[in-house]
Amino acid sequence: MVCLDVDGTIVNHDGHMSEAVRQAGRALVGDGHTVVISTGRSLPAVLPIIEKFGITHGYAVCSNGGVTLRIDARSPEEGGLEDGYEVIDQQVFDPEPALRALHERLPTARFAVETSAGHFIATERFDDLTFGMAPEVMGLKEMKQIEAVRLVVNSDDSTAQEFARTVEDIGLHGVTYSVGWSAWLDIAAKGVTKGSSLEALRDSLGIPREQTLACGDGRNDIEMLQWAHRGIAMGQAVEEVKAVADEVTGTVEEDGLVPVLCSVLEQD
């Protein structure tokens, strides 16, 4: 069970997947390994990665653990799924307490919610690779009433360090959160991480923990790297991510994922 982060691992921060990574990923899938894309991205933004990797049967964990997909790209006549995938697990939460607390301390920040229906709404229009769609603009009051699988907060008025300190000072309760590379915050339901959803999937598939590998570069990958029997941090990861990993590979610009995938193939 090979669990792979997307941004900063499979693709660079411009969203580009190198040919070397694509070929190594397809080789691993073709060899029969269970390759699970595990990402903070929402469902629409992860589908192109699944296609490029050649995953026609398998699973993906999206929205930092909030949504788990089963993939079967065969035609419905052959027993496949109508859209090529189905949501098999979804972890929702009430975003109102977090929105209220964050807006009080970060009044100029932008807020976006991924809804349980798979849509994105935001207090102002802003696009991001992790959304996979342009969000619908909605007022904060209305946003507080919507069931969420992911809450995003972004600020242009502070550095990543200042933003992280502010979020820490707020002391959010009843949710799980991770701060990104910039002044960016991802929030999920309490106890929900990539690691928790991957563990539920591993258990349902009956895969031994000793046969799990994970690779990522962000703070939202920490629980996943701790969970995996073999946790690998990308070379550009911050020190707190590297500290929980069993190994460190090259940077995303160096195609650091390729030797990781090749090492799995060499074990066969």
Q: Where are the domains of the chain?
A: 2-90+192-267, 96-189
The pLDDT value given to residue 126: 75
The pLDDT value given to residue 132: 82
From first to last of the 268 residues of the chain, give the pLDDT tens digit. Answer: 999 999 999 999 889 999 999 999 999 999 999 999 999 999 999 999 999 999 999 999 999 999 999 999 988 889 899 899 999 999 999 999 999 999 998 888 999 999 988 889 999 887 777 788 888 999 999 999 999 999 999 888 777 777 878 888 888 888 898 887 678 889 999 999 999 999 999 999 999 999 999 999 999 999 999 999 999 999 999 999 999 999 999 999 999 999 999 999 988 6
The pLDDT value given to residue 182: 73
108 close to 122: Cβ distance less than 8 angstroms: no
What is the C-alpha separation between 68 and 224, in angstroms, rounded?
Answer: 15
The pLDDT value given to residue 4: 98
Q: Could you tell me the pTM of the whole model?
A: 0.92
The pLDDT value given to residue 177: 86
Q: What pairing do the DSSP bridges indicate for beta strands 35-38 and 57-62?
A: parallel
The pLDDT value given to residue 88: 96
The pLDDT value given to residue 137: 93
What is the C-alpha separation between 150 and 67, in angstroms, rounded?
Answer: 9
- 207-231 in b/e form (b: 16+ CB < 10 A) is eeeeebbbbbbbbbbbbbbebbebb
What's 2-90+192-267's CATH class? alpha beta
**Euclidean distance between the first and the last CA atom of the chain, given in angstroms as a whole number:** 13
What is the C-alpha separation between 49 and 242, in angstroms, rounded?
Answer: 25
The pLDDT value given to residue 133: 81
The pLDDT value given to residue 173: 84
Q: What pairing do the DSSP bridges indicate for beta strands 230-233 and 213-216?
A: parallel
What count of other Cβ atoms lies within 10 Å of the Cβ of residue 166?
18
Q: Per CATH, is 96-189 categorized as 3.40.50.300?
A: no
The alpha-helical segments, DSSP class H, found in 149-209 are 160-170, 194-205
Type of residue at 43? L
